[in-house]
Amino acid sequence: MAAIVEYFKNIPLHMDYDGQARAEKLSRIIISLFGIVGLFWGYIIQEFSQTIYILGAGFVMAAIITVPAWPMYQRKPLEWQKPQSEVSAKTKKKK
C-alpha cells in the first residue's frame, strides 16, 4: 500500500515556466482549431450539435495533451544556485 502511495506521489505534476507557456499556447490552438472545424462542419451538414461534439473532442484532446506534466514540458528547469552551507554575518545583521 505504501508503495502505491509513494508511486502516485512521485508522478511529476509540475511543469517548468517554459513548459507552462507552451502548454497554454498549445491548448488554445487545439481548442480553437477544433471549434473552427466544428463550426464549418456543423454548417455544412446543418447540425449545430455536431459543432458542439467536435468542440468537446477538442477539449478532451487538449486535456490529454496539456494537462498532465509530460516530459516535453520539463525540458528547461530553472538553474538554481547551489545551497550555501554558511550564511555570512553581514546578511544576518541586515535582516
Positions that interact with other proteins (CB under 8 A): 13-15, 20-21, 23-24, 27-28, 31-32, 35, 38-39, 42-43, 46-48, 51-52, 55-56, 58-59, 62-63, 66-69
- Looking at beta carbons only, is 46 or 85 nearer to other proteins? 46
Distance, CA of 76 to CA of 17 (rounded, Å): 8
Beta strand ranges found along 9-89 (DSSP E): none
- Looking at beta carbons only, is 16 or 89 nearer to other proteins? 16
Judge whether 47 and 40 are in contact, CB under 8 Å.
Answer: no
35, amino acid identity: G
What are residue 2's phi and psi, to 5 degrees?
Answer: -60, -35
Q: How far is the CB of 36 from other proteins (least distance, A)?
A: 9
Q: How far is the CB of 89 from other proteins (least distance, A)?
A: 36
- Looking at beta carbons only, is 29 or 79 nearer to other proteins? 29
Q: Tell me the three cell numbers of residue 28.
A: 488554445
- Looking at beta carbons only, is 20 or 74 nearer to other proteins? 20
Distance, CA of 89 to CA of 68 (rounded, Å): 44
